[in-house]
Structure 1
Amino acid sequence: MTTTLTKDILRGGQFLVKETKCEDIFTLEDLSEEQRMMRDSTKEFVDRELWAHWERFENKDYGYTEACMKKAGELGLLGVAVPEEYGGLGMGFVSTMLVCDYISGATGSFSTAFGAHTGIGTMPITLYGTEEQKKKYVPRLATGEWFGAYCLTEPGAGSDANSGKTKAVLSKDGKYYNISGQKMWISNAGFCDMFIVFARIGDDKYITGFIVENDPENGITFGEEEKKLGIHSSSTRQVFFTDTKVPVENMLSERGNGFKIAMNALNIGRIKLAAACLEAQRRVIGEGIKYANERIQFKTPIINFGAIKAKIADMATNCYVDEAASYRAAKNIEDRIAIRESEGNSRQEAELKGVEEYAIECSILKVAVSEDVQHCTDEGIQIFGGMGFSADAPMEKAWRDARIARIYEGTNEINRMLAVGMLIKKAMKGHVDLLGPATKVGEELLGIPSLEPLDFSELFAEEKDLLARLKKVFLMVAGAAVQKFGPDLEEHQQLLLAASDILIKIYMAESALLRTEKNAKRFGEEKQATQIAMTRLYLYKAVDTIIQKGKEAIVSFTEGDEQRMMLMGLKRFTKYTNQPNVAALRVQIADHVAAANGYNFD
């Protein structure tokens, strides 16, 4: 059995109650030579075909988006995750994340087209299709001969995906279904060859998936291209089906299994979306640093001003943390897939269950990274000043393109509530022991805190102690909330949102700490000095967020002695022994990236 299968891999959500060793996580510094070559070739394609022509994407050149997609297909970039027997490269989950990451930095238009095609356009067939369906469609999709689209959203069915009204009616001879209905916000609709369409058969409780070829003579019509805030050259149209005939053999999976297909596609889409927001941050940071190094005001480059250093440091720190968390989760998924295959699961079943296992982490990443890329582009505009607001500079288009990331693959509000909701469901099924640790936290609140000084001589000793206490904040809040509201907790959305923000900050901060600790051990602390500074800066800011959200949650559902006790617990669990010099950390980080003239931690 390989090392990958024997190391200690936590189940999804267990990061909250079990310790993770830094040696057991994957970081960008662990990329194989093959993966580095793939990353570099992807960046070369992006620089040559996308970044150099970003104005074309802004000017709604849909034809150029399609042409670039074909070139990506010729290079094999559309088939990285597709098994070799169906024309793809058959690479692991980390490699698919890597391509999704680096291909997405130049323009949101291409990133959306790529993600819609490789993810929700192709993946449902590879994971749920019959052998005949896979042989017929997947090789064409993997090479870019055909392009795919995904028809789920309707005017009355957005976040409530299963409420769609599109109907599928079986013909009298039983040979095909007639599909009728309206779909909206369909990416790639203007140039796709095939749709994954979700429709309801009769009065079924759940929708059903179908593979529908794009034939205008078969009752398929389109609305005009949508006028959007960003992603201008991503083809986005309404699609209308009027008695569209679909052979019965084109049903995807089983009848009524469409909602499951849609939800699993979204799980994968969420972590891929996080990856797609990474290179966008790196490039914005790079452009911001170059401008700040060159822009002279008051006879000095603006990079020398403390206000600019603070922005640059926060942007670089968030990106570093986002990388750490995204690739940590990606490798967990890849390892879980390998374990399931070794236990006899088919590749399809292993992939489905492997991703589903880490659905909590996928939602966490979707929220955290999509909000960080928006903050990054906003600060990028601010660094450029008036030029940042101009369409002649790349910052304003980056800001507009980033905005959609907080909406698709499930809004961030939905994903926040999902993260906590799924964690509680896992606890109820016995997959994550929350009750035991939460009970211990409750007992600790009634006890006298230890006054014995701790040994903080080793790297991150204090930070690890603090992280362990931050986890107690979540357990304290979530445990009390579950005890009080039980199954009705989902109705208390503001409480869930606050608890989710605590959960998100814990996972992201811990991921950064583990990445830095691992690399400090193998490369030396001196070579990781800036990464150590970023880790400490992020944790400091995370504590502030957890204090705010913890207090907001506690006062929203408690009162009297219980409230006072929990607020005292919040203060105890978030207390620093030695608070870091935040200004000095930011100067250290900013000076490092300014000297490198760009982000250089990947």
Structure 2
Amino acid sequence: MSNLPKGGSFLFGQTNPQDIFTPEDFTLEHNMIYRTTAGFVNDSILTRMDELESKKEGLIRELLEAAGELGLNGADIPEDYDGMNMDKISITIIAECIGRSGSFAMTHGGQTGIGSMPIVMFGSNEQKKKYLPGIVSGKKVGAYALTEPGAGSDALSARTRADLSPDGNYYILNGTKQFITNAGMADIFIVYAKIDGDKFTAFIVDGDSNGLSTGVEEHKMGIKGSSTRSVIFEDVKVPVENLLFEIGKGHVVAFNILNLGRYKLSANALGNAKYALELAATYANDRKQFGTPIANFGLIKEKLAEMAIRTYVAESMVYRTGGLLENILHSLDTSGDDGGQIAAKGIEEYAIECSMNKIFATEVQAYSVDEGVQIHGGYGFSSEYTIERLYRDARIYRIFEGTNEINRVLIPSTLLRRAAKGDLPLQEAIEKLKGEIRSGDLIREGEAGLVQAAKDIFLLTMGAGLQKYGKDLQKNQEIVGRLADMAIRAFAMESAWLRAQKAVANEGEAKAKLKLSMARTYINAVVGLLEYSAKETLAALAEDEELASLLEDLQRLTKYTTRNTVALRQEIAAAISESGKYVV
């Protein structure tokens, strides 16, 4: 583990392209899993989407059991409990392919992620034996009950209460949870409650428990085929052996599970963005106006190209992070009874990257479905066309698993906390950059130089923030949010460029041409946005001579010659139109 990069360390050094994982590194087994999962989604789910959206009785369970037969429910679960115990790349592939499946993706995510991973990582051996095989087969449905009417992002303010019964055999739960996915059919609930009103603790609650009831189905904007209800606990008796992990350690369970949940959600969003691009490219090829396919019009080309570019960047980030997660888990001994907790700690190392992926991929998804509707024109607003459903379904992705705003706050605050512990050289990097600026020792040429410039812009701005606010910087969310965006864009730029460089080294420049074009276009387009954001932020952090000096330093970091990105986008759009889908 000591030789592996620390979470967030990409900001403070160079990464060898050969050290990152990319989709071009898929093994034969990975490709087989991709084909199997995509085939299941295309043949068994998308063909029945109307039935799914109308909540046909029993269909969700039928599909979950079919997924179970293919091994798609137990990818994260050890073989001792009937799971497949797949590597994190395989798990990412499954999540990406399932992302195309609309409402089913929500149900499956609740089943294989937040609804079961608390047991996988924090459950006792007896709890795992009792509950996990049913999750794997799909015969039991899992749900995660954290959110309450008055406790969303502030989960620790939950009011659901647990009190030990006089005989010491049960905890008695009272309270209400809200917006719970799979609630209408769940057999197993992961529930968070405060013992004696103050010890935040996780429990496994059977769905058929006396006193447990659910509200009516929520009438949602999208993901209509999934079950979303409130869950009410009225003197529900939970056996003491169903307490999950330790009393008062519910936050450890909840927050560690959310790291993996955010990562998987980013893979879901990636698959959905690819689907939107496929629908848009196919429609643009078929739809004719003024005697020619609209795919030949410049502004449609730009839309298709930009959808593809952002999807490529998201894909590069997601699988790079998947490689990080796989490497750290491979380095750990998870064979003991506490193996799940050790794995959770390993995943927590990359909490920053998980949050960055969640934000970036869900916002790429949002962009792609929106432009997909625009390319469809009036037909995109009609429910007869699939893109209309994708547009509605996508909106929730930026809200759950921690809103994108909450995740933006988490990124700089986690960096600052780790730097304070000595785990990341933040202050050293800021001082080093100041020295380089003063000495004029700055060489930022080509795309690799712009990637470094992005990191430098973040460090310059973070330094100004710390200079003004010190430890109180985290209280200024407008500044923190902009710093998060700078870090995300730096990671995005670097991931796209490293993938392209690895492809050039391994396949030759000719085969890697499209990847290079996508990376170059994204980097050149975004560096200007970074510069503007930094100016806006610095103006909020300094005045007069200090501000003038900071802006002068910023200007030194952002001297570059812009590429012809219009021509690059035309090249990318031509490749997308020719294939009718996302290609690299």
TM-score with structure 1 length normalisation?
0.95
Deviation of the 1:62 alpha carbon: 5.9
Deviation of the 1:56 alpha carbon: 2.4
Q: How does 1:417-428 map to 2 (within 5 A)?
A: 417-428=409-420
| Alignment correspondent of 1:490 | 474
SS at match of 2:390: helix
SS at match of 1:483: helix
Distance 2:247 2:558 in 1: 50
Deviation readout 1:65-97 (Å, 9 max, x if unpaired): 332112111221100110000000011111111
Residue pair 1:437, 1:475 contacting (<8 A) in 2 also? yes
Residue from 27, 31, 55 that aligns with 2:26:
31
Deviates more, 1:392-401 or 1:337-346: 337-346
**Seq. identity, %:** 42
Distance 1:343 1:186 in 2: 33
Deviation of the 1:278 alpha carbon: 1.2
Residue from 192, 198, 210 that aligns with 2:192:
198
Residue from 580, 583, 586 that aligns with 2:566:
583
Deviation readout 1:127-154 (Å, 9 max, x if unpaired): 0001111111111111112010011000
| Alignment correspondent of 2:156 | 162
SS at match of 1:255: coil
| Alignment correspondent of 2:56 | 61
Deviation of the 1:472 alpha carbon: 1.0
| Alignment correspondent of 1:115 | 109
SS at match of 1:427: helix
Q: Does 1:146 align with 2:130?
A: no
Residue from 381, 400, 412 that aligns with 2:373:
381
Deviation readout 1:48-67 (Å, 9 max, x if unpaired): 11112222233343632332
Residue pair 1:219, 1:242 contacting (<8 A) in 2 also? yes
Deviation of the 1:203 alpha carbon: 4.1
Evaluate the alpha carbon distance shift between residue 504 and residue 559 of structure 1 in structure 2; reply closer, same or farther with a 3 A threshold.
same
Distance 1:448 1:351 in 2: 45
Deviation of the 1:250 alpha carbon: 0.4
Q: Which amino acid aligns with 2:549?
A: M
| Alignment correspondent of 1:213 | 206
Distance 1:34 1:505 in 2: 32
Deviation of the 1:103 alpha carbon: 1.4
| Alignment correspondent of 2:326 | 334
Deviation of the 1:574 alpha carbon: 2.0
- Flag structure 2 segments of 5+ consecutive residues without an equivalent: none
Residue pair 1:62, 1:235 contacting (<8 A) in 2 also? no
| Alignment correspondent of 1:598 | 581
Deviation readout 1:413-439 (Å, 9 max, x if unpaired): 110110111011111111110111101
Residue pair 2:125, 2:337 contacting (<8 A) in 1 also? no
| Alignment correspondent of 1:285 | 277
Deviation of the 1:449 alpha carbon: 5.8
Q: Does 1:14 align with 2:9?
A: yes
Deviation readout 1:486-536 (Å, 9 max, x if unpaired): 221121000001111100000011001111111111111111111111001
Q: Which amino acid aligns with 2:530?
A: I
Q: Does 1:50 align with 2:34?
A: no
Q: Does 1:272 align with 2:264?
A: yes
Q: How does 1:342-491 map to 2 (within 5 A)?
A: 347-448=339-440, 462-491=446-475
Deviates more, 1:51-60 or 1:409-418: 51-60
Residue pair 1:337, 1:353 contacting (<8 A) in 2 also? no
| Alignment correspondent of 1:133 | 127
Q: Which amino acid aligns with 1:552?
A: E
Evaluate the alpha carbon distance shift between residue 342 and residue 51 of structure 1 in structure 2; reply closer, same or farther with a 3 A threshold.
closer
Residue from 296, 303, 317 that aligns with 1:304:
296
SS at match of 2:179: strand
- Residues paired across the two proteins, number: 584
Evaluate the alpha carbon distance shift between residue 562 and residue 185 of structure 1 in structure 2; reply closer, same or farther with a 3 A threshold.
same
Deviates more, 1:255-264 or 1:97-106: 97-106
| Alignment correspondent of 1:532 | 516
Distance 2:537 2:546 in 1: 13
Distance 1:132 1:191 in 2: 24
Residue pair 1:309, 1:590 contacting (<8 A) in 2 also? yes
Deviation of the 1:346 alpha carbon: 5.1
Distance 1:560 1:444 in 2: 23
Deviation of the 1:600 alpha carbon: 2.3
Q: Does 1:80 align with 2:75?
A: yes
Distance 1:364 1:315 in 2: 19
Deviation of the 1:281 alpha carbon: 1.2
Deviation readout 1:470-490 (Å, 9 max, x if unpaired): 211111111221232122112
Deviation readout 1:388-435 (Å, 9 max, x if unpaired): 110000111101111000000000011011011101111111111011
Distance 2:166 2:482 in 1: 53
Distance 2:57 2:358 in 1: 27
| Alignment correspondent of 1:320 | 312
Q: CA RMSD in A?
A: 1.6
SS at match of 2:233: strand
Distance 1:74 1:343 in 2: 26
SS at match of 1:481: helix
Residue from 573, 577, 585 that aligns with 2:557:
573
Q: Which amino acid aligns with 1:586?
A: R
Distance 1:62 1:416 in 2: 39
Deviation readout 1:423-469 (Å, 9 max, x if unpaired): 1111111111011110122233434466xx88xxxxxx611112112
Deviates more, 1:436-445 or 1:166-175: 436-445
Distance 2:344 2:230 in 1: 29
Residue from 276, 294, 298 that aligns with 2:286:
294
Residue pair 2:61, 2:138 contacting (<8 A) in 1 also? no
Residue pair 1:168, 1:178 contacting (<8 A) in 2 also? yes
TM-score with structure 2 length normalisation?
0.97
Distance 2:35 2:340 in 1: 29
SS at match of 1:142: helix
SS at match of 2:511: helix
SS at match of 1:126: helix
